[in-house]
Chain A
Amino acid sequence: MALAARTMLARLWFRDNDGAESNCDVNLPAATDLDSALSFLASWRVMVATLSSATCFEVELFIRYVDSTPMTPAMGSSVLRHGVFIFGSEPSDMAIVRVPSIAPALLESSGPFAGIAIDLAAADVIAAVAALASGLAGVEPCDPFAIDLGDLVTAYKEQL
């Protein structure tokens, strides 16, 4: 598995008076340093605002890499089937992390939630949950509101 840098993506989100949303994407060279990319984004947002009658309400900067190794997804894989990992101790701090195409082998094979609940005793699941709850490579993930994820509450399969 080898990762190669792709262009950065500067994305501006706009909303119209009906509440509908659309985005404006601009690619930046992959070698652009982060500070320069953020400066571009801030200035570009002001500039595009003069071109649009909608309101720019959010900006995003993607730093992108692509796996250059050819691969064939496993039979039976489906990104419409997610592994859902729910963290938090109270309703007021619950957060969620999804893994596309959760491996069927990681689902419980017996009990009331057979085929639905994720086996929390599986070694790979234990490792991933620990990384999310306690951090990985010196970084502790958080929810969309910058609150630590906390401990795992439950994990199951969802189907879109």
Chain B
Amino acid sequence: MLVYPEPPEESTCVLLFVPVELVPIIGAQLGQLEQRHKWATVEDWQQGYRAFVDLQAQLMSNCIATLIQEIRDLRGLKTAYASVPIEDRTSDMYRSIDDVAEKINTLIFYIGGGAEHGDNIMEILRGTEEATEERNLLEMLE
């Protein structure tokens, strides 16, 4: 019979890629560990039951797809593909991370008061300086 293991002081997890077609079979196998007789004590059973039901719920979270979409959102969609439905978009329709990093560096440069512009935007935002010329940050990112 199983004794629920003592978790480490620092919570640690492993990431497992489960092909979606195996979800019904793996879920059923995990479900076997909900049964009282698998566990040494009621306390072990209660912890084990909760943990294995949670694992079954995670099988349906499609977390990798969510993670990929979060990364794509961070990269930003190329304007040429704005009309393509999300489910039909491919990785090359999004800006590269290098492009994004370059834009961010440019933005930081200007916010800090770039050499070509005397303004220190942080000071302008704080209200301690007046802007000397109009800037469109979105244009800088194009």
List residues of chain A with CB under 8 Å of any chain B CB: 19, 21, 58, 81-82, 84, 86, 88, 91-96, 98, 112-113, 116-117, 144-145, 153-154, 156-160
Q: Is the CB of A154 within 8 A of B62?
A: no
CB-CB under 8 A from A92, the residues of chain B are 50
Residues B25-79 near A (CB distance < 8 A): 25, 27-28, 31, 34, 36-37, 46, 49-51, 53-54, 56-57, 59-62, 65
Q: Is the interface of B mostly helix, strand, loop or mixed?
A: helix
Q: What is the CA–CA distance of A157 and B23 in the complex, to the nearest angstrom? A: 8
A145 is contacted by which of B46, B54, B62 (Cβ under 8 Å)? B46
22 residue pairs A–B, Cβ–Cβ below 8 Å: A81-B24, A82-B28, A82-B31, A84-B27, A84-B56, A86-B57, A92-B50, A93-B50, A94-B54, A96-B34, A112-B62, A112-B65, A113-B20, A116-B23, A117-B60, A144-B46, A154-B57, A156-B23, A156-B60, A158-B31, A158-B56, A160-B28
Interface of A, secondary structure class, is strand
Question: Which chain B residue has the least Cβ–Cβ distance from A58?
Answer: B36
CB distance from B19 to the nearest CB of A (A): 11
Task: A117 to B23: give the CA distance in the assembly, Å.
Answer: 10
Interchain Cβ contacts within 8 Å, total number: 66
What is B's interface to A at a CB cutoff of 8 Å?
A: 1, 20, 23-25, 27-28, 31, 34, 36-37, 46, 49-51, 53-54, 56-57, 59-62, 65
Task: Add 16 more A-B contacts to A58-B36, A96-B31, A158-B27 (CB < 8 A).
Answer: A84-B56, A86-B53, A88-B53, A92-B50, A95-B53, A96-B34, A96-B56, A98-B31, A113-B23, A113-B60, A116-B60, A144-B46, A145-B49, A154-B57, A156-B23, A158-B24
Of B25, B53, B62, which is in contact with the most chain A CB atoms at under 10 Å from its CB? Answer: B53
Inter-chain contact A156/B54, CB cutoff 8 Å: no
CB contacts (< 8 Å) of A91 on chain B: these are 50-51, 54
Contact residues in B for A86 (Cβ distance below 8 Å)? 53, 56-57
| Among candidates A93, A153, A159, residue contacting B24 with C-beta atoms closer than 8 Å | A159
Closest to A95 in B: B53
* Residues A84 and B31 in contact, CB atoms below 8 Å apart: yes
Give Cα A91–Cα B53 distance, bound, in whole angstroms: 8
Query: Inside 8 A of B28's CB, which chain A residues have their CB?
Result: 82, 158-160
The answer for the CA separation of A145 and B44 in the assembled complex, in Å, is 12
Contacts of A157 in B (CB 8 A): 24
- Give the Cβ gap from B91 to chain A, nearest Cβ, in Å: 17
The CA-CA distance from A92 to B49 in the complex, in Å, is 9
- Tell me the smallest distance from the CB of A144 to a CB of chain B, in Å: 7
Contacts of B37 in A (CB 8 A): 21
In the complex, chain B residues whose CB is within 8 Å of the CB of A95: 49, 53
